[in-house]
């Protein structure tokens, strides 16, 4: 326990973390990891700081984990940054959150480009403030030819709304003779979702001790391995991520078979 609180731990004992990274790379690395980054407000409250201080700290963790995921050979990382329900929060908090994409990209986009990361997003982009759309749109444009990790931000995303919109578009296409009812199957329906260009996540991580999905990728997570931790997102570090991947590698996936 004492060790966990010692910020010099990694430098005193550089081999153990690096060894675990090498071990991981010798086994099957989840190609797609999704994260529900919860606990930012609680992290701030514990320190008598405003909630937004937790969000800001959490933003830096996204950068840190992206770098490690890319290094481990993860191909896609989706992070739940803002849900369709989050608009109910106080206006000042929402305004702050909507500036985080710009701050994140203003600070980290050059490094992401350097690391060959491609920035993508899922969610209802049209409802975002103009300044947020501009920043995210530019990052997507600037990284569209990158071939490394896909860093996918779920921003103003909600899974039930996504599914209903998908159903409506299927009905439209049936009405217009583009597909027939018999042609609709799971694979075809997946192509009507915002995640049509992505596979399904292999591993879902949720921080801060809440054991629920909160309207995140309900369809896509059908066969995903779940890993929950009590660690608050701003405290989540490289060792926690390695721990989650190690847990994944210790599991036997069956996809409903035997
Ligand atoms: C947000 C920080 C992480 C913890 C969870 C909530 C707060 C990064 C972004 C972001 C989004 C799009 C993009 C680049 C960066 C972000 C929001 C909140 C709304 F293209 N972190 N982060 N967006 N938090």
Which residues, in sequence order, are bridge partners of residue 34?
78, 204
15: pLDDT strictly greater than 90: no
Q: What is the pLDDT of residue 254?
A: 87
Q: Are 154 and 80 in contact (CB under 8 A)?
A: yes
Q: Are 223 and 255 in contact (CB under 8 A)?
A: yes
Range(s) of the domain holding residue 70: 10-158+200-249
**Hey, CA dihedral for 204, 209, 210, 215, is it positive or negative?**
negative
Nearest to 216 by CA among 82, 71, 108: 82
Place of tokens 């106080």: 90
Query: Domain tally for the chain?
Result: 1
Report yes or no on 95 lying in a domain.
yes
Span 1-22, mean pLDDT?
68
**pTM for the structure as a whole:** 0.94
Mean pLDDT taken over the chain: 95
Residues taking part in catalysis: 38, 86
Report yes or no on 164 lying in a domain.
no
**Hey, CA dihedral for 135, 126, 141, 40, is it positive or negative?**
positive
Which residue's alpha carbon is at the smallest distance from atom 21 of ligand 1? 59
3: pLDDT strictly greater than 60: no
Report yes or no on 218 lying in a domain.
yes
Report yes or no on 186 lying in a domain.
no
Q: What is the pLDDT of residue 225?
A: 98
**Is 42 marked as binding a ligand?**
yes
Which residue's alpha carbon is at the smallest distance from atom 17 of ligand 1? 81
Q: What angle do CA 16, 22, 27 make, to 5 degrees?
A: 130
Ligand 1 mean position, distance from CA 213 (Å): 18
How far apart CA 190 and CA 209 sit, in angstroms, is 30
200: pLDDT strictly greater than 80: yes
Q: Write the CATH number for 227.
A: 3.40.1180.10
**Is 39 marked as binding a ligand?**
yes
Residues 6+ apart with CB under 8 A from 235: 39, 43
């Amino acid at each position: 326990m004492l060790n966990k609180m010692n910020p010099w731990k990694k430098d005193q004992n550089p081999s153990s973390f690096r060894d675990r990274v090498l071990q991981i790379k010798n086994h099957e690395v989840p190609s797609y990891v999704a994260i529900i980054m919860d606990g930012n407000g609680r992290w701030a409250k514990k320190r008598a700081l405003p909630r937004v201080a937790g969000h800001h700290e959490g933003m830096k963790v996204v950068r840190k984990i992206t770098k490690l995921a890319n290094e481990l050979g993860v191909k896609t990382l989706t992070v739940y940054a803002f849900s369709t329900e989050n608009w109910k929060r106080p206006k000042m908090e929402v305004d702050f959150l909507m500036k985080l994409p710009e701050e994140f990209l203003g600070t980290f986009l050059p490094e992401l480009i350097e690391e060959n990361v491609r920035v993508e997003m899922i969610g209802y982009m049209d409802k975002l403030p103009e300044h947020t759309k501009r920043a995210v749109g530019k990052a997507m444009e600037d990284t569209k030819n990158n071939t490394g990790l896909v860093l996918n931000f779920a921003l103003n995303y909600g899974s039930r709304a996504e599914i209903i919109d998908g159903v409506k578009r299927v009905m439209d296409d049936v009405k217009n003779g583009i597909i027939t009812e018999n042609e609709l199957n799971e694979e075809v329906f997946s192509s009507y979702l915002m995640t049509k260009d992505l596979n399904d996540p292999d591993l879902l991580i949720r921080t801060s001790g809440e054991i629920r999905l909160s309207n995140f990728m309900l369809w896509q997570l059908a066969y995903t391995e779940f890993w929950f931790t009590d660690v608050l997102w701003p405290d989540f570090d490289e060792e926690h991520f390695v721990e989650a991947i190690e847990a994944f590698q210790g599991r036997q996936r069956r996809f409903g078979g035997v």
